[in-house]
Structure 1
């Protein structure tokens, strides 16, 4: 595991103004905000790391924009670049974006990705706290982005991977104006205990999506980008080098300074067997020191055992780098397992569907 991070996730606020049925976050109904002291502690580490390589800071809630423009700008202003760039991005539901927010994004060069599942009924599970639909509000926010000529990406959760509607989804997001689309097949994770889809409909969905994407490629599909980079690495002999590279720790720093790793999905969770999924708090130690000794934590050790098990057992390791620890835990109760439903849906079936769709689009 790498001792520095190229991507850092921050939780500026816990509260979300939506109440999506599939959301897994444990504190999304309460308002807790990050202090300047916590932001300063993270910024110190980011500045040091950026002397060696670029660092990307992702503001990820809750709904980050709930913090309001003054509060967000105050936290953002604590960060300074070293020899390399420190970039910022926000993951938002889009409902609070207005002209004032667009001015912030422009002034501070903040990238924007909007969580949005598509037209109704695709978006029906993304509701307000009063149970109302949220699509119109999100579209108003996107209209503001477009008015200010701000590029943006989108991430959609697909609850029903119906291959007959994959083209409709692709065309809708293409018309929306986003430059890229990430597709998350609904997962079993966090407070959401329902099982995810786990059958060959997922392969057919990816295949149908690939057919539509291959026809015009107006819209980048995040998952296809990842898959094709892996294929290119296999073809030019770099796949083994990729497989042996140290894994980025992907730290997530919560509103109170707690640090978890491997992305934002484990923040706020714990296990009777392993304890809290944290490796320290930035109020008690420098973030660099916390990451350097993270492998001493029992749950991180189990995560690394699981990654090593994937490395030795799976031909797809250079593609997925050992999978997502959160999905392993929430599906099985352990981190040291290998294949999961997430793995099958978002890697194996995706690759199979992509290759099938490309062949079909070529008329093979």
Structure 2
């Protein structure tokens, strides 16, 4: 076997666990290939996943356990009650504080009601909601399996969270039809008391073979969208926090540079599916299979340690190529200090390989946003011409 890459592995910050691959929606931009698979995670596999993490050299204090990949709330409430007890017992066996693991989940919110709110409160589960803003934008892409709109159900779920005082963040996917509606999105979120938002660009990834943003005018329209959103946000301080702006401003105002991200650092993230298979790096790599690499499963939590998987040929190949791609970004990209080399999954889906540099995903997610934020900050400081 050739020499290992030089990147430091861990520490583990995020354990992504798939309670089920099944989703009750059929969003047209979803990358997941198995949304009709009704498999459910046995609690014994959760036990094994927790043990593999807590015994590993990558564990170094607290981390977040994120229920994700499929729709978590298609599992019954009783599952999360039982899972929380399993988490408590695992921490107790290792002599660790209950605060060591923070539970979180990402949901489409269509079934949230008071019973689910009771579950979130009882088990101290943090909530993220996936929704795309105003009704017309949201329902254009996020429909049920029978083609019905979902906006009304999502808003009922959000209202339940707000009525109970349960904090949540919204992830909104930006497609081409959203780029001319910055004011509509800003007005929608602020009018409905939604104060924490992150924008995910529609990506070419997995089952979504082509993003609607891949148009000749896509970057220009995206930049104009972000400029307008910046103007609206700065005109009303404190009403809406946008993840992208917060990330860039915190780095721009600090002295540190990112040298890597969790998504290109081995075992900073561990992703476990409902059968116990695990991978590292991007969660998006877990459910896909490719001609060149096969799947990206590095092992199974029922069969071996996380550390042992690092010595397999498959892991070494992926790690080596991801590191080579990070080196190219470090050498060639002026924005490297803002992103630390980006996500390997975007490089693979756009270029068919990991050992490459710039992607459309990083143009939209980092570079164009950074240009807008830095220009806006310069203008506010009176530094622009």
| Match in the other structure for 1:194 | 210
Distance 2:30 2:59 in 1: 36
Residue in 1 that maps onto 2:82 = 74
Offset from partner CA, 1:302-349 (integer Å, 9 cap, x none): 222212221222222221111111111111111111000001111101
| Rounded Cα–Cα distance in structure 2 between residues aligned with 1:179 and 1:294 | 45
Quick check: 1:4–1:288 contact (8 Å CA) kept in 2?
A: no
Question: How far apart, CA to CA, are the structure 1 residues paired with 2:261 and 2:144?
Answer: 42
Task: Choose the corresponding residue for 1:222, options 236, 243, 258.
Answer: 243
User: Given that residues 6 and 55 in structure 1 are in contact (C-alpha distance below 8 angstroms), is that contact kept between their aligned partners in structure 2?
Assistant: yes
1:96 is matched with 111
Distance between the aligned counterparts of 1:288 and 1:345, measured in 2?
Answer: 34
Given the two structures, how large is their TM-score scaled by the length of structure 1? 0.91
Structure 2: any 5+ residue segments left out of the alignment? 1-7
Number of residue pairs matched?
359
> Normalising by structure 2, what TM-score?
0.86
For structure 1, which runs of at least 5 residues remain unmatched after alignment? none
Partner Cα separation in structure 2 for residue 25 and residue 343 of structure 1: 21
Question: Residues 112 and 348 (structure 1 numbering): CA distance in 2 closer, same or farther, change over 3 Å?
Answer: same
> What is the match of residue 53 of structure 1?
61
- 2:11 aligned with 1:4, yes or no? yes
RMSD over aligned Cα atoms: 2.4
TM superposition shift of 1:117: 0.1
Aligned partners of 1:116 and 1:155 also within 8 Å: yes
Q: Give the Cα–Cα distance (whole angstroms) in 1 for the partners of residues 261 and 224 of structure 2.
A: 33
Partner of 1:207: 227
Q: CA deviation at 1:351?
A: 0.8
Residues 107/291 of structure 1: CA separation in 2 closer, same or farther (3 Å cut): farther
Residue 43 (structure 1) aligned to one of 47, 50, 59: 50
Distance verdict in 2 for CA 1:305–1:13, change over 3 Å? same
1:149 — aligned with what? 165
1:168–1:345: structure 2 CA closer, same or farther, 3 Å change rule?
same
After TM superposition, list the pairs within 5 Å mapping 1:347-358 onto structure 2: 347-358=366-377
Q: In 2, distance between residues paired with 1:162 and 1:66?
A: 28
User: In the alignment, is residue 32 of structure 1 matched against residue 47 of structure 2?
Assistant: no
Counterpart in the other structure of 1:127: 143
Note closer, same or farther for the CA distance 1:26–1:14 as it changes in structure 2 (3 Å cut): same
Q: Which residue of 2 aligns with 1:111?
A: 126
Aligned to 1:62: 70
Structure 1 SS opposite 2:136: coil
* DSSP 3-state at the match of 2:358: coil
Contact 1:258/1:278 (<8 A) preserved: yes
Quick one: distance in 2 between partners of 1:77 and 1:214? 44
Map 1:291-310 → 2, pairs under 5 A: 296-310=315-329
Check conservation: 1:270, 1:276, Cα contact below 8 A.
Answer: yes
8 Å contact kept, 2:174–2:201: yes
Cα gap change, 1:292/1:321 in structure 2, threshold over 3 Å: closer, same or farther? farther
SS of the equivalent of 1:243 reads: coil
